[in-house]
Amino acid sequence: MISQRMGKRISQKGGIRQAYNEAQRQYEIYGKENVFDLSIGNPSVPAPDKVKETILKVLEDDFSHGYMSDAGYEDTRRKIAESLNRKYEETYTGDDIVMTNGAAGGINCTLCALLDPGDEVILFRPYYTAYEGFIENWGGKAVTVSPKGEEFLPDYEELEQRITQRTKVVIVNSPHNPSGTIYPKETAEKIARILEKKEQELGHEIYLLSDEPYRELVYDGTHLPWWPHEYRDTIVAYSFSKSLSLAGERIGYLLIPPHIGDAKNVMRAVRSSMGKIGYVNAPALFQKVAGDCVDETVDLKYYKKNRDLLYQTLKRFGFTAVYPRGAFYIFVKCPINEEEFLIRAQNRHFIFVGGSSFDYPGYVRLSFCCKQEVIERAVPAFELLARDCGLISG
- Asked if 372 interacts with its own copies (CB under 8 A), we say no
- Asked if 248 interacts with its own copies (CB under 8 A), we say yes
- Least separation, in Å, of the C-beta of 114 and its own copies? 6
- Asked if 101 interacts with its own copies (CB under 8 A), we say yes
- DSSP 8-state secondary structure symbol assigned to residue 321: B
- Asked if 325 interacts with its own copies (CB under 8 A), we say no
- Asked if 365 interacts with its own copies (CB under 8 A), we say no
- Closer residue to its own copies in complex, CB, 138/183: 138
Task: Give the SS3 label for residue 221.
Answer: coil
- Closer residue to its own copies in complex, CB, 111/364: 111
- Asked if 200 interacts with its own copies (CB under 8 A), we say no
- Least separation, in Å, of the C-beta of 147 and its own copies? 25
The vertex-310 CA angle with 307 and 312, nearest 5°, equals 100
Cα–Cα distance, 319 to 332 (Å, whole number): 7
How many CB atoms sit inside 10 A of residue 328's CB?
Answer: 28
- Asked if 47 interacts with its own copies (CB under 8 A), we say yes
Q: How far apart are the first and last CA of the chain?
A: 55
**Part of the chain binding its own copies (CB under 8 A), chosen from 90-98, 120-128, 242-250, 379-387:** 242-250
- Asked if 307 interacts with its own copies (CB under 8 A), we say no
Sign of CA dihedral 58, 64, 66, 72: negative
Pick from 246, 371, 254: nearest CA to 297:
246
Cα–Cα distance, 373 to 305 (Å, whole number): 11
Residues 6+ apart with CB under 8 A from 223: 184, 185
- Asked if 373 interacts with its own copies (CB under 8 A), we say no
- Closer residue to its own copies in complex, CB, 122/334: 122
* Interface with its own copies: number of residues (CB under 8 A): 73
- Closer residue to its own copies in complex, CB, 6/29: 6
Strand partners, 212: 238
Residues within window 202-241 making contact with its own copies, judged by CB under 8 A = 204-205
Task: Give the SS3 label for residue 255.
Answer: strand
- Return the amino acid letter for 306: N
- Closer residue to its own copies in complex, CB, 112/314: 112
Mind giving me the DSSP string for 349-365? TEE-EEGGGGT-TTEEE
Residues within window 102-141 making contact with its own copies, judged by CB under 8 A = 102, 104-105, 107-108, 112-116, 119, 130, 133-134, 136-138
C-alpha of 75 from chain center: 26
How many CB atoms sit inside 10 A of residue 2's CB?
Answer: 8
Burial label, 377 (beta-carbon count in 10 A; 0-12, 13-18, 19+)? middle
- Asked if 31 interacts with its own copies (CB under 8 A), we say no
**Part of the chain binding its own copies (CB under 8 A), chosen from 58-66, 181-189, 219-227, 354-362:** 58-66
Pick from 139, 115, 81: nearest CA to 294:
81
Residues 6+ apart with CB under 8 A from 201: none
- Closer residue to its own copies in complex, CB, 280/343: 280
- Least separation, in Å, of the C-beta of 83 and its own copies? 20
User: Using the rule CB under 8 A, which residue among 170, 246, 370, 386 binds its own copies?
Assistant: 246
- Least separation, in Å, of the C-beta of 369 and its own copies? 10
User: Using the rule CB under 8 A, which residue among 61, 66, 89, 373 binds its own copies?
Assistant: 66
- Closer residue to its own copies in complex, CB, 246/375: 246
User: Using the rule CB under 8 A, which residue among 15, 43, 147, 178 binds its own copies?
Assistant: 43
User: Using the rule CB under 8 A, which residue among 52, 185, 193, 315 binds its own copies?
Assistant: 52
Mask of contacts with its own copies, 135-174, x by CB under 8 A? -xxx-----------------------------x------
Pick from 26, 198, 206, 25: nearest CA to 114:
206
Cα–Cα distance, 94 to 73 (Å, whole number): 9
User: Using the rule CB under 8 A, which residue among 275, 362, 380, 390 binds its own copies?
Assistant: 275
- Least separation, in Å, of the C-beta of 14 and its own copies? 8
